[in-house]
């Protein structure tokens, strides 16, 4: 056989060997067969794992506000869950529960009447400054309550009744009103603390008043000073709750000036929860001062109350007032000559 014929037979064999060797060299491992369609990033770290390990996602910024570099934190999700889930339930239960309880009490007991009738004699209960400060603080609180409730319930209750544009406009003005009227509330709160604290110290009449339900259940009124135990509870609820709301509100009015983002979220927890409690308390206060008790509105409406009303609800205070007047009118002994 000639050399050329032998080469024609060998060359195809060599080509086949070279091709087979190349296929073998580039063949994938046996364990990788049949994995088409799988997720190539299945073993990578996901966002949830990253947050659990690092507690936050922190970026880098070149602007002066370095707090803007904090992109995400678990506490933010916790706060969003509270705002969208627990807070509306807390507010609904407290406010609607108080309204329902007062309605049941009114239909069961009716209005607390003056059993002795009107004496026709007036006694000064609150002076002009006390009444002015009361109504100034009360008006500010009502504005804050309405605008604050809009933050919690507005999107659910108001926006379906108006266009999104109208709701956005109302909410923007409500936010401004809340921010500016809050300073009026703080001022009135400080005046209340200074002017009335001496009359709201617990005394020997308070426990009996609480034990007898303040006369609401039995119809007989236990003795009380200028403020009875129920009014003292409302006073200290407003003072302590108002201070907590004022402090947390200032933290939110000046973001990042006193605390970080986590501290501001805690401020909102405190502000919103105490706000709901105070709204429920003030609803009860409004009921007693208007519909619930005959003659009570005159105290803040006119400053003077009927003498029989004062004797029924604040007998110890009336005795002090009468003793003071009697002492002032008593003749002083003339000096001996």
Structural domain includes residue 35? no
Q: How confident is the model at residue 336 (pLDDT cuts 50, 70, 90)?
A: very low
What are the DSSP calls for 217-265, one per residue? TTS-PPP--SS-HHHHHHHHHHHHHHHHHHHHHHHHHSTTTSS-HHHHH
* Residue 68 domain-assigned (yes or no): no
pLDDT at position 18, please?
Answer: 54
- For 285, residues 6+ apart whose C-beta sits below 8 A from its C-beta are 234
**Is residue 173 included in any domain, yes or no?**
yes
DSSP 34: T
Number of domains forming the structure of the chain: 1
The greatest distance separating any two alpha carbons of the chain, rounded to the nearest whole angstrom, comes to: 172
pTM: 0.77
**335: CB partners within 8 A, 6+ apart:** none
Domain of 138, in residue numbers: 122-327
Least confident of 14-18, 94-98, 206-210, 259-263: 14-18
pLDDT of residue 244: 96
CATH number at residue 155: 1.20.950.20
Confidence of residue 337 (pLDDT cuts 50, 70, 90): very low
Is 145 part of a structural domain of the chain?
yes
3-state SS string over 278-302? HHHHHHHHHHHHHHHECCCHHHHHC
> What percentage of the chain reaches a pLDDT higher than 90?
54
For 273-319, write each residue's pLDDT tens digit. Answer: 999 999 999 999 999 999 989 989 999 999 999 999 999 899 999 99
- According to DSSP, the residues that pair with 172 across neighbouring strands are none
Q: Is residue 274 part of a domain?
A: yes
Q: What pLDDT digit, counting tens, does each position of 197-255 carry?
A: 999 999 999 999 998 888 777 767 889 999 999 999 999 999 999 999 999 999 999 98
Q: What pLDDT was estimated at residue 76? A: 77
Torsion of CA 244, 248, 254, 259, to 10 degrees: 120
In a domain, 251, yes or no: yes
pLDDT of residue 41: 61
Q: Is residue 280 part of a domain?
A: yes
Q: What is the mean pLDDT of the chain?
A: 83
Contact 154, 333 (CB under 8 A): no
- Inside any domain, residue 136: yes
Give the mean model confidence (pLDDT) for residues 166-172. Answer: 95
pLDDT, mean of residues 51-80 = 65
Question: For the residues 91-110, what does the mean pLDDT come to?
Answer: 94
- Per the CB < 8 A criterion, the answer to whether 145 and 178 are in contact is no
- What distance in Å separates the CA atoms of residue 57 and residue 55, rounded to the nearest whole number? 7
pLDDT score recorded for residue 202: 93
Mean pLDDT calculated for residue range 5-21? 59
**Which residues does 172 contact at the CB level (< 8 Å), separation at least 6?**
none
């Amino acid at each position: 056989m000639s050399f050329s014929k032998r080469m024609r037979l060998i060359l195809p064999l060599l080509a086949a060997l070279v091709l087979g060797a190349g296929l073998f060299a580039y063949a994938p491992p046996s364990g990788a067969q049949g994995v088409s369609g799988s997720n190539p990033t299945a073993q990578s770290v996901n966002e949830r794992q990253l947050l659990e390990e690092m507690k936050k996602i922190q970026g880098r910024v070149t602007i002066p506000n370095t707090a803007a570099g904090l992109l995400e934190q678990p506490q933010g999700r916790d706060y969003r869950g509270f705002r969208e889930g627990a807070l509306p339930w807390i507010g609904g239960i407290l406010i609607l529960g108080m309204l329902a309880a007062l309605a049941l009490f009114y239909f069961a007991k009716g209005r607390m009447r003056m059993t002795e009738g009107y004496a026709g004699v007036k006694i000064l209960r609150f002076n002009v400054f006390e009444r002015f400060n009361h109504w100034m603080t009360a008006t500010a609180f009502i504005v804050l309550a309405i605008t604050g409730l809009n933050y919690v319930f507005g999107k659910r209750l108001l926006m379906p009744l108006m266009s999104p544009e109208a709701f956005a406009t109302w909410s923007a003005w409500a936010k401004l009103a809340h921010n500016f009227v809050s300073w009026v509330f703080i001022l009135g709160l400080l005046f209340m603390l200074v002017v009335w604290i001496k009359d709201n110290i617990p005394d020997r009449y308070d426990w009996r008043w609480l034990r007898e339900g303040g006369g609401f259940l039995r119809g007989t009124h236990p003795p009380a000073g200028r403020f009875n135990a129920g009014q003292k509870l409302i006073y200290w609820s407003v003072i302590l709750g108002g201070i907590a709301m004022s402090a947390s509100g200032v933290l939110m009015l000046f973001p990042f000036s006193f605390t970080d983002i986590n501290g501001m979220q805690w401020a909102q927890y405190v502000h919103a929860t105490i706000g709901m409690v105070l709204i429920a308390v003030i609803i009860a206060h409004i009921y007693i001062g208007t519909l619930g008790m005959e003659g009570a509105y005159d105290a803040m409406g006119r400053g003077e109350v009927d003498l029989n009303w004062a004797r029924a609800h604040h007998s110890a205070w009336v005795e002090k007032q009468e003793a003071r007047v009697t002492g002032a009118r008593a003749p002083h002994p003339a000096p001996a000559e």
